[in-house]
A = this chain, B = another copy of it.
Amino acid sequence: MAKRTGEKYDAIIDAAVRVIAEYGYHNAQVSRIAREARVADGTIYLYFKNKDDVLISLFSEKMGSFITEMEEKLREIESPADQLYTLIRLHFEKLEEDRQLATVTQIELRQSNPEVRRGIGEILKRYLDIIDRIIESGMEKGLFRPNLDIRVCRKMIFGSLDEMVTSWIMNDYKYSLLDQVEEIHRLFISGMGK
């Protein structure tokens, strides 16, 4: 069972994003997602193992393409400082241009059960790896202190960006995330620098 592609597969995931964004995680019933996707309830189970699988897949699909895009963009940049800048900027840009997705991934999906959260954590590892590589590269090139604890820095960077976005959503998108890129970048560069 559970073919993981096709027109309806995408329709269901997109419907899930819309429904969760509009009604909140706790009101995102399978039947509502099905209706929004113009599909029968049972059809969802032809494409996904269960509801958790829809949510994890949602995160995986959206985040996956984002991470891939991020990797491509960073590959074209030499300087770790510029890479970090781009990472922050893309992170904010992406979420700022799709508020629905931002709400869903930052707020709603965090209310999900342990199974889903574990799935999400798994996917985020790829993103953390990207951050790791930037830091490593900065250390190798002498831009950052040589004795930085990469795992600590990685968490600080991710935690900072994550909190920035969450806060921005909770404050009703009142300001622009992109305006904060410079400040954050500067703090990390001089914070990790020699």
Contacts and interface: CB of A to CB of B under 8 A. Distances in A.
Count of this chain's copies in the oligomeric assembly = 4
Contact of A155 (B110, B111, B160): B160
A59 B69 CA distance: 39
A175 to B, nearest CB: 9
Given A159-B159, A159-B160, A160-B160, A153 B113 contact: no
Contact of A162 (B112, B117, B148, B163): B163
Task: Classify the interface of chain A: helix, strand, loop or mixed.
Answer: helix
A155 B164 contact: yes
A186 B113 CA distance: 36
B188 A167 contact: no
A159 B163 contact: yes
A191 interface: yes
A145 B12 CA distance: 49
Interface in A1-52: 24, 26
A136 to B, nearest CB: 16
Interface string A112-133: 1110010001000000000000
Interface string A150-194: 001101101111111001001000000000100110111011110
A187 B180 contact: no
Contacts of A161: 159
Contacts of A160: 155-156, 159-160, 163
17 contacts: A111-B111, A111-B117, A121-B170, A149-B180, A152-B184, A155-B160, A155-B163, A155-B167, A156-B160, A159-B159, A159-B161, A159-B163, A160-B160, A160-B163, A187-B191, A190-B190, A191-B191
